Amino acid sequence: MTPEPVDSEEPSTLEVPPSLFSWAQILHSWFWRLYDHLGILVLSNALWFAGLTIMGWSFHHAGWLGSFQSPGFQGFLTLYLLSAFYSVGWAYGVFRLFTGQEFRFRHYWEGTKHFFLRAVFLSLLWLGIALLGYWNFRLFPSLVKEWGFAGYLAEGLFFWIVLFWLSMALFQWPLLFFQDIGVFKVIYRSFLLVLGNSLLSLSILACLMAATVFMSLFFVVGWAFVGLVVACSLPSVALEKVLLKYKITLSNQPLLSLLEIWEIERKRGWRELLKPWEFR
């Protein structure tokens, strides 16, 4: 991946501290940005969830839903793509808040209008990989029976391919918002990002899977108030940090000033939570 040019006034030898894109620093930045914008994020997530619930109830009430083994699969696919279209603007709003950009509610519509075609196409690819993974799981007993040890090898290889693609998918919407590039460039660059940061990518994937299980146990509280926020924000913060390895910043923001902002963020601690009035 070719780095974007940085501000010409900065020294070309400016180094980015490796600690900035460590897992601990990513979680630290994510938590404080969530804390700073919690009110608007909860409100946005609630509005997103309400619209999605109405959409799903409408399809269910009309009898258009079913598994992919039934005629109702077309209804499920339609609902899935409509949900992706509906969600992209809200995800873009979360991205803006977690990357320190100006935010207005109009940005939800602007994000939808500008990114929805590419975002929906990427979502369709995610669904295709998920269905392939499901079919592969169902075929596992027959493969082992017919191929023996080779069947285990084939299943193991396909498992890692699906896992790698899921890790790539985490970065694809944030990368689309960050660099405003075409679908195939998104796929290619997300591939490079996961290839060069595999442990971090798997950690984020595991964290989001755990969050999904937790929020599903507390359905209304979890998904209604922070579901979309968590799913979109953690990959966005991680992407912003990781791209610093290549000295790539959002909108070519001067690297030196960005590092100064993050140094202030890095020094924020528990005292600010316990006595917030001292930091106003």
Instruction: Check pLDDT > 80 for residue 6.
Output: no
Instruction: Check pLDDT > 90 for residue 150.
Output: no
Confidence (pLDDT) at 235: 95
Which residues have CB under 8 Å from 163's CB, separation 6+?
A: 202, 205
State which of 20-24, 161-165, 192-196, 222-226 shows the largest mean pLDDT: 192-196
For the chain, the straight-line distance linking the first and the last C-alpha, in angstroms and rounded, comes to 41
- What's the pTM value of the predicted model, to 2 decimals? 0.86
Higher pLDDT, 110 or 71: 110
What's the CA angle centered on 265, arms 39 and 268, to 5 degrees? 85
Model confidence at 59, in pLDDT bands (50, 70, 90)? confident
Model confidence at 8, in pLDDT bands (50, 70, 90)? very low
The percent of the chain in helix, strand and coil, each rounded to the nearest 5, is 80, 0, 20
Model confidence at 44, in pLDDT bands (50, 70, 90)? very high
Instruction: Check pLDDT > 70 for residue 73.
Output: yes
DSSP 277: G
Confidence (pLDDT) at 3: 37
Confidence (pLDDT) at 85: 96
Domain limits, the chain: 26-58+74-269
CA dihedral sign of residues 166, 171, 172, 174: positive
Q: Find out whether 133 and 73 touch, Cβ atoms under 8 Å.
A: no
Please state the rounded mean pLDDT for residues 152-169: 84
Q: What is the dihedral of CA 150, 136, 168, 177, to 10 degrees?
A: 160
Confidence (pLDDT) at 194: 94
Give the chain's mean pLDDT: 84
Q: What is the 3-state secondary structure (H, E, C) of 50-71?
A: HHHHHHHHHHHHCCCCCCCCCC
Please state the rounded mean pLDDT for residues 160-189: 93
Instruction: Check pLDDT > 80 for residue 151.
Output: no
Higher pLDDT, 37 or 136: 37
Instruction: Check pLDDT > 80 for residue 208.
Output: yes
- Residue 33 CB coordination number (10 Å): 19
Instruction: Check pLDDT > 80 for residue 171.
Output: yes
Q: What is the largest CA-CA distance in the chain?
A: 69
Q: Find out whether 41 and 229 touch, Cβ atoms under 8 Å.
A: yes
- Percent over 90 (pLDDT), the chain: 43
What does the radius of gyration of the chain's CA atoms come to, in whole angstroms? 21
Distance, in Å, from the CA atom of 207 to the CA atom of 231, rounded to the nearest integer, reads 10
Confidence (pLDDT) at 15: 72
Instruction: Check pLDDT > 70 for residue 239.
Output: yes
Task: Determine the distance from the C-alpha atom of residue 99 to the mean position of all C-alpha atoms in its chain, rounded to a whole number.
Answer: 13
The type of residue at 21 is F
In this predicted structure, which of 123-132, 141-150, 238-247 has the lowest mean pLDDT? Answer: 141-150
Determine which helix (DSSP H) or strand (DSSP E) holds 141, and give its type and residue range.
helix 106-147
Distance, in Å, from the CA atom of 157 to the CA atom of 160, rounded to the nearest integer, reads 5
Confidence (pLDDT) at 130: 82
Query: Which residue bears the tokens 């929805």?
Result: 116
Model confidence at 14, in pLDDT bands (50, 70, 90)? low
